[in-house]
Structure 1
Amino acid sequence: MSFFGFGQSAEIDIHLDGQETRKTAEVKTEDGKKEKLLLYYDGETVSGKVNISLKKAGSKLEHQGIKIEFIGQIELYYDRGNHHEFTSLVKELARPGEMIAHTSYPFEFSCVEKPFEVYTGSNVKLRYFLRVTIVRRIADLVKEIDIAVHTLSSYPDMNNPIKMEVGIEDCLHIEFEYNKSKYHLKDVIVGKIYFLLVRIKIKHMEIAIIKRETTGSGPNTFTENETIAKYEIMDGAPVRGESIPIRVFLAGYDLTPTMRDINKKFSVRYYLNLVLMDTEDRRYFKQQEIILWRKGDKQRKPNLQAQNTLVASHLVKNEPHQDNKENQNTTNNQSQQQSIKEDFTRANNSQSTENIHNDPFESKTTEAPIQNMQREAGDGQIDTEASAEQ
């Protein structure tokens, strides 16, 4: 209802260019549900048009100006009154005046910097959104629309396997290995556990993926641990010399890239937690941090067959001398073999699930001295203070 200038006298609709064909991404909301948002990447242009329609035909809308903003902000749940904006761009759509008919305003934010990925956690939320404001003397009309942003990474230059020896003094000595220390979000964790000394009665063993979210700083630091996945990898007492394989597929879980000190507000880190339980229900654990990163879509390789067809047609067209033709064919065959060899080398070097059958422990590993396993506190929940020290 519009009475003495109050109420919603116009409707605002934001239409983004290419939204019918643009990819979408599921983003978690604060209530735990998921919504699909249009997906953008760092450096991409955000453009479209703002449609403003009057609710009552023949009426007019007086305003003090119309603007659109592109905003990236971080909201800490314990400090909801303050929104920390790390990106803020403004475009003026219309100067003060009167609107007497439905109007459309185009807009464009060219090559916008989007340095961080959207994230909704236990104590913090990072979002990107467009906000249209019709400035009025009494009450502004505002419309917001969120977008999703993903940050892509390339394959890390250094990605050594992890090898560590842990145990309980004079009771248990185990060695665990993981094939890499950095994994993309669709990767597979491959590893094994080798028992060197067993003098306690172990009932079972499990491995879990833990997400640790840290917000704030100093005395206002809050840490939240969330178990993303848990696997039982052994049931029963092991013997000395026994080896337990590990294989965890990451694609089925709601994971984000590792985030460290995002705008000095929060961090998100991931750990593999190895837990042993003895027959007296005592639980011992050891955590190892892993780095997660988002891999871009695969690029299509050049069609070698099509290239060879073009080369052959070119040779037939020119009809060279027989000796020259044989030399050119030899050169082309060598070039084709070299290209195939290079493609094979790239395929072997790529980190995809197609390579999980290879032995992941042939390369040099990162070794560490023997470390003691931690005893879990209370009813089996992770002792966060002891974990943080690790």
Structure 2
Amino acid sequence: MSRRCRLNVFNLRVPSAALTFAFERPQDRVKNLTLPPIDDVRKRSHVTDAPLFCDGEAICGKLIVTVESGKRLEHRGLTLELVGYIEQELDRSAARHEVLSCSRALQSSGQVLEGDESFAFDFANVGALYDSYYGRRVTLRYGLRATLARGKYASSVVHEQGVCIQQVVPSPAMSNGPLKMEVGIEECLHIEFKYGKSTYHLNDVVVGRISFVVVQIKIKHMELAILRRESVTSGAPRRSERDTIAKFEVMDGAPVEGESIPVRMYLAPYALTPTYYNVHGQFSVTYFLNLVLVDEDDCRYFKQQEITLWRKTVG
């Protein structure tokens, strides 16, 4: 019999256990996340509902250990970790950048478990400096990892649970309005978009007005979009990804010179995050208003201007 088979025989003699988390918080505040396991980014991703916490709230609850019916399990320690990492999709071979690490010993080695047993945990004032972020090329995520060491000849039982952390901040300084963005071609086209401010919370409304000052070309379509630029600022090569997050159709048809169209674009329905600059020296996320016109020859004219987004409430 091979050594591997002998270990499997020993392994069968050690009872197994199931680990589950129960959080002491409102159960309706969750985020639906798709993420890989905390301990190995090479494994298959999975979809999970992660409890949502505001920075400053204690992450507390119970870890429930359920041993096989009628069995007793003497273990070599039960531990719980709260971890936070930044991971880059195109740089999986590199070490993850740790942003948070806390550990609790829930039960020492040599103790015996049987039936259902629960262990309270409380991670208070952990100092999470950053929001959870799930981007196109970079991820900043937090999670709990419980480990039950079963002994020399049995693998440890590991259970992971992602948690989502958000930072609510005071209203930043607002820019003086109104602001103006112009799209133009000399003597052929001059369009002005006036809007009230450049700083918005995630449930805000972009309010403005588009005026057609000069229109000497035939325009068939016009839209206002919100672009997100995700910039990875560490590693080589440095790179940026740009995605269109939201679109607002201003008009579909030819405008009249002198015409003015009101704009009211609600941000709440879209998957927006706050603006982030140089998070842990690894990445930035910025947003832009993008005004796009398409003429009858399908030529595109556009002008964009950066806006700042911030989080007013958890959600």
TM-superposed deviation, 1:201: 2.3
What is the letter of the counterpart of residue 51 of structure 1? I
Determine the structure 1 residue equivalent to 2:164: 148
TM-superposed deviation, 1:105: 2.3
* C-alpha distance 131-212 of structure 1, shift in aligned 2 (>3 A): same
TM-superposed deviation, 1:68: 0.8
* C-alpha distance 140-79 of structure 1, shift in aligned 2 (>3 A): farther
Q: Deviations over 1:261-289 (max 9, x none)?
A: 21122222211111111111111111111
Secondary structure in structure 2 of the residue aligned to 1:5: helix
Q: Deviations over 1:124-157 (max 9, x none)?
A: 2221111111234352221111112121122223
Structure 2 contact 174–197 (Cα < 8 Å) conserved: no
- Runs of 5+ consecutive residues of structure 2 not aligned to the other structure: 1-7, 37-44
Structure 1 residues 238-247 or 175-184, which shifts more? 238-247
- Bigger CA radius of gyration: 1
Q: Spell out the pairing of 1:317-336 with structure 2 (5 A cutoff).
A: none
Q: Spell out the pairing of 1:140-289 with structure 2 (5 A cutoff).
A: 140-161=156-177, 162-217=179-234, 219-289=236-306
Q: TM-score, normalised by structure 1?
A: 0.69
Secondary structure in structure 2 of the residue aligned to 1:4: helix
* Cα separation, 2, equivalents of 1:100 and 1:242: 76
Secondary structure in structure 1 of the residue aligned to 2:90: helix
What is the letter of the counterpart of residue 66 of structure 1? L
* C-alpha distance 219-75 of structure 1, shift in aligned 2 (>3 A): closer
TM-superposed deviation, 1:34: 6.5
* C-alpha distance 52-236 of structure 1, shift in aligned 2 (>3 A): closer
Determine the structure 1 residue equivalent to 2:102: 89
* Cα separation, 1, equivalents of 2:33 and 2:80: 25
Determine the structure 2 residue equivalent to 1:137: 152
Determine the structure 1 residue equivalent to 2:21: 14
Q: Is the counterpart of residue 80 in structure 1 residue 92 in structure 2? A: yes
Determine the structure 1 residue equivalent to 2:56: 43
Determine the structure 2 residue equivalent to 1:104: 118
* Cα separation, 2, equivalents of 1:237 and 1:202: 5
* C-alpha distance 286-28 of structure 1, shift in aligned 2 (>3 A): farther
* Cα separation, 2, equivalents of 1:30 and 1:228: 21
TM-superposed deviation, 1:248: 0.6
What is the letter of the counterpart of residue 274 of structure 1? L
Query: Identity of paired residues, percent?
Result: 43
Aligned residues: 294
Q: Deviations over 1:285-330 (max 9, x none)?
A: 1111111111137xxxxxxxxxxxxxxxxxxxxxxxxxxxxxxxxx
* Cα separation, 2, equivalents of 1:85 and 1:215: 16
Q: 1:57 aligns with which of 56, 70, 73?
A: 70
What is the letter of the counterpart of residue 19 of structure 2? I
- Runs of 5+ consecutive residues of structure 1 not aligned to the other structure: 298-390
Q: TM-score, normalised by structure 2?
A: 0.84
